[in-house]
């Protein structure tokens, strides 16, 4: 006490008590109370004119507050500063958004339009600090494990990563375009050819995908890494897993559901959870009843695949909740949502009357259902049943409150199919990363009749039902790459034209290599319990992909277009 201090910040609030004026001064560290007395004439005169968010500086003496005036809700609540000198540095117009966390918050679009003001909120200041800490932990871990941080080009070539490219026209080379990288995939593989043993980068990535709550539009950041002389994805998984555990426990202060992170094959994940991104904080597994109900007279259950989910305590669902579940099932392609309620060792409900007692007994036994539980069914093709019940599983967990925000469940989903059918075109396409090594190499590509059965050494880490990482052992053999692309319709010439730089490099002693990339924004959202991914980024675009603050995308003038040899066509 008694120390002389000089402080600067924003006026958080001002209270005029007649003979005294109290100002709560705020900066990035918090709030402290200033006391201005009439005896200090110049300071008192300035204080009378201050309003919220004016920028000021103050000099004065620290003293302890009277016992009855201490504020336990703030860190500086036991002290105050008696002001000797006060300076008005800058004024502020009335703010269009709230800079306090208390009370009603402004709408998201308004907050994003005035993001520089929204960032003054204490929760946003805390987020920025936590994000910096997050990056520090990541870099410290990667550096300590002999990874070399390398930055890769932003102006690159177009690459089939699974999303639309952002194209940049070249002024110097009219008619040609750069592409902003969807990921540094080709460059990091070239680094492996270049003799870099272990690479990493906190990399900006650009994808023209539709916005959604867990995905930023346009640009996002990922922890990108690659390891040379690795032929098994398990090496990558064991290398990176301790970092994610550290972030969960030490950075976020959360509890791991299991220290042993399970490895779940893709097909098993789809069959048990209806998704390749299963949330393992809860059970509600899909149970296959197809064989058990083969002779069932209930026509709905004569479908190619019949599965069920047992929902503990589901008998307490209201009629409206059941109707909402049914509507959700219909939106995802089901004809309806059959169910039975378990009671007195049997079952009741719309479906139960069509089932024999022994069939209900089998269903209860296979699903582990007890009295008071509800059993919901899906019957259709296996693919559709998995999809519908996968969505329903998440909905049941939401209603039952099974997603503990203080718990984190991790798993690796492995052995993804290399190819999938494009629903729009009906043609075969790459399922994940086109540069992944098929298990079995060239033989698998040539000898497997059903190409959809080819498995790649691809893997995703899932965190509480969100894909936090995707990776693979890379295809570093030119002939295997030509064959892999041939299956999806690329000619040898097209592959050479699009990926000639990488293919040529692979001819000069490319080592086997593998890696992965973690979605840093999405993972931070989950670790900090943010409601939206836009809450963990300093300057995000809104849900429509518009930067309201900078007014982009925007129209460019005719001179700029002419310089790039471009012209716009009128819409119909």
Half-sphere exposure of 127 (CA within 13 A, CB side): 25
Among 31, 24, 26, 22, smallest CA distance to 10 is for: 26
Per residue in 80-115, pLDDT (tens digit) is: 999 999 999 999 999 999 988 876 678 899 999 999
CA distance 430 to 485: 9
Using a pLDDT cut of 70, give the percent of the chain over it: 98
CB atoms within 10 A of CB 194: 13
530 SS3 class: coil
Q: Is the pLDDT of residue 526 over 60?
A: yes
What is the pLDDT at residue 432? 79
Among 474, 476, 498, 502, smallest CA distance to 488 is for: 498
Per residue in 330-367, pLDDT (tens digit) is: 999 999 999 999 998 888 888 888 898 999 999 999 99
> Where do the domains of the chain lie?
4-90, 110-253+512-572, 282-402
Q: Is the pLDDT of residue 213 over 70?
A: no
CB atoms within 10 A of CB 557: 8
Helix boundaries (H) for 145-276: 185-193, 233-246, 266-273
Bridge partners, residue 288, by sequence: 307
CA distance 203 to 266: 27
Q: How far is CA 74 from CA 29, 70, 386, in A?
A: 11, 9, 51
CA distance 341 to 344: 10
Torsions phi, psi of 353, nearest 5?
A: -70, -15
What is the pLDDT at residue 162? 61
- Tell me what the mean pLDDT of segment 400-412 comes to: 97
Torsion angle of the four alpha carbons 497, 501, 507, 512, in this order, in degrees rounded to the nearest 10: -120
pTM score:
0.91
Token pair of 39 as six digits: 């005896």
For strands 198-207 and 466-473, give the pairing. Answer: unpaired
Q: Specify the CATH superfamily of domain 4-90.
A: Nucleic acid-binding proteins (2.40.50.140)
| 8 Å CB contact between 563 and 165 | no
Per residue in 277-300, pLDDT (tens digit) is: 999 999 999 999 999 998 888 889
Q: How far is CA 321 from CA 325, 334, 350, in A?
A: 6, 17, 16
Tell me what the pLDDT averaged over the chain comes to. Answer: 93
Q: Higher pLDDT residue, 163 or 532?
A: 532
Residue environment code for 282-313, b if the CB has 16+ CB neighbours within 10 A, otherwise e? bebbbbebeebbeebebebbebebbbbbbbbe
In the block, tokens 């204490």 appear at 122
Half-sphere exposure of 190 (CA within 13 A, CB side): 15
Per residue in 470-522, pLDDT (tens digit) is: 999 999 999 999 999 999 999 999 999 888 888 899 999 999 999 999 999 99
CA distance 31 to 73: 11
Q: Is the pLDDT of residue 163 over 80?
A: no
Torsions phi, psi of 374, nearest 5?
A: -120, 145
Name all contacts of 315-322 with Cβ < 8 Å and 24+ positions apart.
315/341, 315/342, 315/343, 315/372, 315/373, 315/374, 316/372, 317/374, 317/399, 321/399
CA distance 440 to 437: 8
- Tell me what the mean pLDDT of segment 198-222 comes to: 88
Kindly report whether the peptide bond that precedes residue 100 is cis, defined as omega within 30 degrees of 0. Answer: no
CA 489 to the chain's CA centroid: 32
Q: Specify the CATH superfamily of domain 282-402.
A: GAD-like domain (3.30.1360.30)
Kindly indicate the confidence band of residue 571, based on its pLDDT and cuts at 50, 70 and 90.
low
What is the pLDDT at residue 370? 95
Q: Which fold has domain 110-253+512-572?
A: BirA Bifunctional Protein; domain 2 (3.30.930)
CA distance 355 to 300: 11
Q: Is the pLDDT of residue 141 over 80?
A: yes
Per residue in 415-433, pLDDT (tens digit) is: 999 999 887 888 899 987 8
Burial class (CB in 10 A: 0-12, 13-18, 19+), 157: middle
What is the pLDDT at residue 498? 84
CA distance 493 to 482: 9
Q: Is the pLDDT of residue 232 over 70?
A: yes
Taking phi first (over 0 means left), then psi (-120 to 50 degrees means alpha), and beta for anything else, what does residue 7 get?
beta
Per residue in 470-479, pLDDT (tens digit) is: 999 999 999 9
Token pair of 79 as six digits: 């002290």
Q: Give one DSSP letter per residue of 119-134, joined into a string.
A: TTSHHHHHHHHHHHHH
What is the pLDDT at residue 258? 96
What is the pLDDT at residue 331? 96
Taking phi first (over 0 means left), then psi (-120 to 50 degrees means alpha), and beta for anything else, what does residue 179 get?
beta
What is the pLDDT at residue 1? 77
């Amino acid at each position: 006490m008694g120390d002389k201090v000089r402080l600067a910040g924003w006026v958080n609030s001002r209270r005029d008590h007649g003979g005294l004026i109290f100002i709560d001064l705020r900066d990035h560290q918090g709030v402290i109370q200033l006391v201005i007395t009439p005896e200090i004439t110049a300071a008192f005169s300035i204080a009378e004119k201050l309003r919220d968010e004016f920028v000021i500086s103050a000099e004065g003496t620290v003293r302890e507050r009277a016992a009855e005036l201490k504020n336990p809700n703030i860190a500086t609540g036991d002290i105050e500063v008696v002001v000797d000198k006060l300076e008005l540095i800058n004024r502020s117009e009335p703010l269009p958004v709230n800079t306090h966390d208390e009370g009603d918050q402004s709408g998201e679009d308004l907050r994003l339009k005035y993001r520089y003001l929204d960032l003054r909120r204490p929760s946003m200041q805390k987020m920025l600090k936590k994000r910096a800490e997050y990056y520090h932990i990541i870099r410290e871990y990667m550096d300590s494990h002999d990874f070399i941080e390398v930055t890769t080009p932003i102006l690159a070539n177009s690459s089939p990563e699974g999303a639309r490219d952002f194209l940049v026209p070249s002024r110097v080379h009219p008619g040609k375009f750069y592409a902003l990288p969807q990921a540094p995939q080709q460059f990091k593989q070239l680094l492996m050819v270049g003799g870099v043993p272990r690479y990493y980068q906190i990399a900006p990535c650009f994808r023209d995908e539709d916005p959604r709550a867990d995905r930023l539009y346009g640009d996002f950041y990922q922890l990108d890494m690659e390891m040379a002389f690795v032929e098994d994805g398990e090496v990558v998984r064991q290398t990176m897993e301790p970092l994610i555990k550290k972030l969960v426990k030490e950075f976020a202060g959360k509890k791991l559901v299991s220290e042993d992170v399970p490895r779940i094959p893709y097909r098993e994940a789809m069959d048990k959870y209806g998704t390749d991104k299963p949330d393992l904080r809860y059970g509600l597994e899909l149970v296959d009843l197809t064989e058990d109900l083969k002779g069932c007279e209930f026509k709905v259950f004569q479908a190619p695949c019949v599965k069920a989910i047992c929902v503990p305590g589901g008998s307490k669902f209201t009629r409206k909740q059941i109707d909402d579940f049914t509507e959700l099932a219909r939106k995802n392609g089901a004809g309806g949502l059959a169910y039975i309620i378990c009671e007195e060792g049997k079952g009741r409900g719309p479906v139960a009357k069509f089932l024999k007692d022994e069939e209900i007994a089998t269903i209860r036994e296979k699903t582990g259902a007890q009295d008071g539980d509800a059993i919901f069914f899906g019957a259709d093709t296996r693919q559709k049943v998995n999809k519908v019940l996968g969505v329903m599983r998440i909905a049941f967990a939401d209603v039952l409150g099974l997603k503990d925000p203080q718990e984190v469940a991790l798993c690796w989903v492995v052995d993804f199919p290399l190819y999938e059918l494009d629903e729009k075109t009906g043609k075969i396409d790459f399922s994940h990363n086109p540069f992944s090594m098929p298990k079995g190499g060239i033989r698998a590509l040539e000898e497997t009749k059903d190409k959809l059965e080819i498995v790649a050494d691809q893997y995703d880490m899932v965190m509480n039902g969100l894909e936090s990482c995707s990776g693979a052992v890379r295809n570093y053999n030119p002939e295997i790459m030509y064959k892999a692309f041939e299956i999806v319709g690329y000619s040898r010439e097209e592959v050479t034209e699009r990926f000639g730089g990488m293919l040529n490099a692979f001819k000069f002693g490319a080592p086997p290599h593998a890696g992965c990339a973690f979605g840093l924004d999405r993972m931070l959202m989950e670790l900090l319990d943010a409601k939206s991914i836009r809450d963990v980024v300093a300057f995000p675009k809104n849900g429509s992909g518009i930067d309201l603050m900078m007014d982009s995308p925007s129209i460019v003038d005719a001179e700029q277009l002419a310089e790039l040899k471009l012209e716009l066509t009128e819409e119909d």
